[in-house]
Each structure stands twice: as C-alpha cells, then as structure tokens.
Chain A
C-alpha cells in the first residue's frame, strides 16, 4: 500500500514539474500560416538554488534553427529541480516570440503549454514598433547576461537589429 502511495506521489511530482519531453516546434507566419525557415529557437532551463536566500542560474541552453518546413526539434530535460523553460524564437522581420512574455508590453503569455508538438505563430514586425524596445525585449527574455557564450546563434541573428536599436537610442539621448 505504502509503495503504491509513494509511487503515486513520485509520479505526480515528476508529472507536474521538471519533466519536459522532446518538443518539435513548427514556426509559421501568423498571417499566412506559411512555415518560416531559418528562425532561431532558443530554449533555456534554469534552476533556483537555496532557501530563504535564493538565486537562479542557467541549467541548460539549446539553440536550433528551423528547416524548410519551419520545424525544429529540441530535446527535453528530465530533472524535477529545474524551472519551466524559457523559449524564444526569432526571425528577422518578425516580432520575437517568447513563451512567458509578449512584445511590446511584456504582457504575460497564457496560451503556451509544453507539449510534444507545437505551432509557434510569429507576427510580422510593424512600423509602429521601435527596434530599441524590441531589442531590449529580446535581450530580457533570452537572459542575455547569463550563460554567456551559449546563445551565440540568437545573438548573431539579432546583431543587425542591435545596430538599429542603438541608432534609435543615441538619437533619443542627443
């Protein structure tokens, strides 16, 4: 009886936290639903340590690029101690997609659930958006200051936007 109870507890624990199966995502244009090739998919798992005083550190970072069909596969993590992953998808000309926040107002995203297959819909970058705000958003959601050296694909992809963002910022500060 006890063994069953413990098994159930362990099952529930692993079923709700820290168990992330491999995910295959398809990235599409939100208007045309056409697949987007060459989008960078960044997935980062973090781990919070301590009690009373805590800090969070990067646990695992995976970068992938979508193929002709807009698909990219990211292997999962099976560790009950990790936090839910942060997923960011970027393609030039589109608004970066993140599973926790939505550009431009950092509204919390509520429509994402980790599952074996998922369709990520990217919105085209609109003229009313600013590159400086978008660049800040991307750097915030990818946690550009942690796990340095492990996010080179996405950082390379946003380099052109970094130039535009700083042009805007420097104009503003004059």
Chain B
C-alpha cells in the first residue's frame, strides 16, 4: 500500500450539502447543515468561522468522511471522502483541538502513525517522522511520551503527525484554540508555512477571528445551519483595514446576516 503520486491537490466541491441528526433522547431532527454550496480551490487556505453550534464541526466530520451527508455531496476531485473512504488514505490529514496523541506511543511513534497506516517501509517512516519532528523543534523529544510534553509540544507532535504524510488536504478543527496566545500564534505561523510548502489545501475551523484573518486566504463565515453569510478573500483587504474586517465579521456573526462593509468587493 503506497501513496499514489498526484500532481497537486484536487478541488473541493460542496453542493447542496445537508446533514440532519436525529436526537436519540427526544427523537427530534436537528438540521446541522442546510444546503451548503462551497468551492475550495487547490492549495487554498480557507478559514471557516462561526458561532458554537453553527455546523462547523459537522462540516469537518463530513469533509474527512467520517459522516455521510443526508443530502447533497462533498466531492474532492470527484470522489466522496465518505463513499470512497480508502481512496483518501494518506491524502487527507487532520489536526484536532486536543492533540489526540496515543499515550502509549512516543512522540516519534505518534508522528509516524499515518505512515504506518499507508504501509511505508519502517526506515522511511522513521526518517520522515524525524524530519517533521525536527522541523517543529522537537528533535530532542522524539522518545518522550505525551504526558512528558507540554500542551504546545503535544500539539506540535500532532501537527508533525498530520504533515508526515504530506497530505493533499489538511483539516484543522480549532487546532490552536486551547493554547496560550504566544504559542498559538507561533504554531499558526508554522502550520501556514508548512501547508504552503507542502502545497496542501488547508481548511481551518475556528471561532477566533484573529486566527482566521491571519491564516486564511479566504474566510467563510457560517451562520446557523452552516449558511454562508460571507465569503471573504483576505488579499482584497489591506493590513491597515484588518480591524474593520474583524468588526464586520463580528457584526455578521451577531446579526446572522452579511455586514454591509463586507460587500464592497
């Protein structure tokens, strides 16, 4: 089992995506995502922002293929991450809010987990995992267990784990939200630089506007049931206007409709 060589990441096409959950206790249906349309170009870094319960995490689960859409589709290069689950082995990688490292594995063994799953030879697994750990400043800690590392270091291992397969698509769900501001800013910068270097398409789910503005090429603002309230190309804003942009997104989230300041382009 080896990673098929690809010329670059495929586009992500979301069409009429709908996800409805049935609550086990009350039996009521909850619409988490209601007819979402979205196109993400190859190598784009997209930040998805929205308030708690707006369907961001459901979108994350659908994008990595762990959930099936109720209606509509999400296609990555014309293949569904859910129906064609195995096709994306080694092509999609994730970073979660908590590091989710396996506590019985050392930093090195955690970083090489995805490489084991795609069946790379052991020497290559070690070499690649070591390279990524070194790049993330953890060269001294390759044999340390997760409980011996700080929160920021554990998240670095999680990032090394995600990058070790050099994925086409990277998804991060509130990956830096639980860290202190200095560590989060540092990791955000590293994550962005590595994603650009790998040529991966990156989708970051976040509720932090600063993070979305500093990282994303695009910011997609989700309202209730993942309704796209605004789709902002950050390059169209000057750095001096970032404060206005942040206020406009904030107003959009509060009013559940696009703020007029965002419609100037």
Q: Is the A/B pair a real complex?
A: no
Please list the residues of chain B having a beta carbon within 8 angstroms of any beta carbon in chain A.
none
